Structure 1
């Protein structure tokens, strides 16, 4: 069984997780639109056209056929939208695409749609607005107060996320976010509604958590792993601890039933005065997954087993409680790459 991880970026750890899951039963191929560290870990790697290039899907289809790829696992939000629209094309050539439905990808990628989805099912979530006037009206009515968060409607990580302490800052940062979006890779999705490409959001003050909500390849709920975010850096979790939290686990189970997502649903949550709020959802492996893996969860192994139509031991999708993980930074050079290729 050969697998292809697309838009892998710097997630070399995921490449290794899938290589370990496959063992000597197949290869892990890694694709990206430019050279990246994750490509150094793959059994084979390839530079693809840009995601929005008209040749992107034809290139991947040809690559899959030539290299006998059985499944594609996209790792980047924008890639999810392109590939979910092409599931049928890949299925016709015998390739599975491990991605959720168009509807769920749209809900997760578009933070305004995320907000509407959550409030429609009575989940707690920060108050969110598309217009400055609507945010100011909420403040005047006493439903919200400064500081407010300004960020891209379509976006990920910490790109163009600002905190406004007053009206003047709100107006300036709102326009700056629009400019930043136009000059970044976020411009394509934002062009779907260019005038409403920025959201204004209530700032929550509480403990932040990350959830890995796991469904099988048929959208059946498996488990929710809860991690307390102990330290953050540039929108990514630096230190986290696995916890037992029945309230957040229930949130995970409810979201899984509603979305019927495929694989992992990465969710950011806050607990404020004992109330659980959902901030964002990402229908993919998130930056917090390594903490779950370190605590004993092995979703890559489960995915490989599901693809092979094998039964999965529920124990491999459960985390040990109280495990603290720390992210590290390392430099990878040619010498290290040669060692990795031989191992």
Structure 2
């Protein structure tokens, strides 16, 4: 069998997009499942040809009906790397039997070994259990029923809603503390904790949305509402209080137990005790005004911190800027 160019799937997320409900490939898979058939579908790359035997070349445009009809034969089906063509059908897969597999069924065991040996994307459909499993490199991802995904996503959004409520309360408190010079390290870590938790929860929901396809439109809309502005606030806080541009990635790459500990997060970002006072530069405060970004940069470069910015004798603030600053201060106080 001829080899093809390398597969372009850098992440299993791309595969989830391609087999989400409403896509042609998912319709074909649903036909197979509903007809109580099984199947192995492999996306071609430059190593797949090394572990195949037999079968026949079809090289036709992919359609759900064509894939379904070809799945009635026992062998695997090979798709082109863009999944727009059916290249081969009734193919025997012969991966290295020494490659470890946790699967018990012959079809799934072959699918897992092919993915590990070639790095290809493999879709295994169980005839008996009606389960769909994706294999990609060393990863295994069982697809769930739409109803199950929808239930989990809805429950997760309820948790996210509560986290967003907590985040907004902490932000309102931080606003007040900043203009009064009362900010402590623990106030910053508390806000960043909630922001990171929201980010991690939303990534779980995002994976569900991808898997739901067209069924996930309402979930997607609600997710955008609940996460709106969180990342911006987080980045402005980091800009205000930390010196390293890598602080954000340091949080993202930390284990959850370290994120949930104020003391550990304080050491990670500030190398200070949580009760120590800390002063913001003023980026986040000034972002709430209508002052142009170039002017904000100029003010902070000369004033250094929010206390100098709020000083009535601030010589770097003209009457318009002072009016904008006073307006934001008033809004913050009224929300308390």
TM-score bracket, normalised by the shorter chain, equals: under 0.3
| Largest Rg, 1 or 2 | 2
> TM-score under structure 2 normalisation?
0.25
> TM-score under structure 1 normalisation?
0.25
More helix by share: 2
More strand by share: 1
